[in-house]
Structure 1
Amino acid sequence: MSPRPKKLRKCEGNFCGRAFKPTGTPLSKLDKIELFRDEMEALRLCDREGLTQEEAGIKMGVSRGTIQRIITIARRKTAEAISEGRALIFVDEDEGQ
């Protein structure tokens, strides 16, 4: 049985291919954490724009539960990068897999 096809998620912004990293250390010498486009969009909508998970789900075209799962993963990755001095690399989902 093949997995259920992934639902298209609506994302704004074109930040893919960019990175957020600690200063003073070349990107090539840092451990990297990939932050996918939908994870960045969920962070933007919930944490920057202040939308509820329900509202963010409507904007992205997915359920509230999906937003909750995405935002939990995104926050964990962001916290890990900041606390351990790693680089966050912003990628499209297709590029990272």
Structure 2
Amino acid sequence: MPRPRKWKRVCNMPKVNTFGPCIEDNDITGAIQMTVEEFETIRLIDHEGLNQEQCSEIMGIGRSTVQRLYEKARRKIADSIVNGKVLKIEGGDYRVCSDLESGNACEKCIRNRYRRGRNI
């Protein structure tokens, strides 16, 4: 029996979930699918400037998992840019912080860092 997947913590969903060349006939065959947790690793590491260990603490997963997600995400972004493919962000094994039942589940959430004036 396979090991159950671990849910990854995501602070918020992407504002835009489709990127790529303008396609007039809405033909997006051959689109690349990036999972929400891959997007979150790119956001935390490249946009927020965190390292992989800090990213793993926020997402509630191991550093090696973050490394794999980050590598996959960068490869997909490169494929999209170099080959002119549409990149869609959807799916994955994640939970949005605001959807978690525990009141303090979002303690390390990047959104709360700015609200509370704390650094990670």
Normalising TM by the smaller chain, what interval?
0.7 to 0.9
TM-score (norm 1): 0.86
Between the aligned partners of 1:32 and 1:93, the Cα distance in structure 2 is: 16
Which residue in the other structure is 1:21 paired with?
A: 20
Q: What is the correspondence of 1:28-43 to structure 2 with a 5 Å cutoff?
A: 28-43=27-42
With the length of structure 2 as denominator, give the TM-score of the two structures. Answer: 0.70
* Unmatched runs of 5 consecutive residues or more in structure 1: none
Q: Work out whether 1:45 is the aligned partner of 2:44.
A: yes
Q: Which has the larger radius of gyration?
A: 2
- Alpha-carbon offset, residue 36 of structure 1: 0.2
Q: Verify the 8 A CA contact 2:28 2:86 in the aligned structure 1.
A: no
- The 1-side partners of 2:13 and 2:47 are apart by 16
Query: Hey, which of these two has a bigger chunk of helix by percent?
Result: 1
1:17 CA displacement: 7.8
How far is 1:91 from its partner? Answer: 0.4
How many residue pairs end up in the alignment? 92
Partner of 1:92: 91
Unaligned 5+ runs, structure 2: 94-120
One-letter amino acid matched to 1:14: M
Cα RMSD between the aligned structures? 1.8
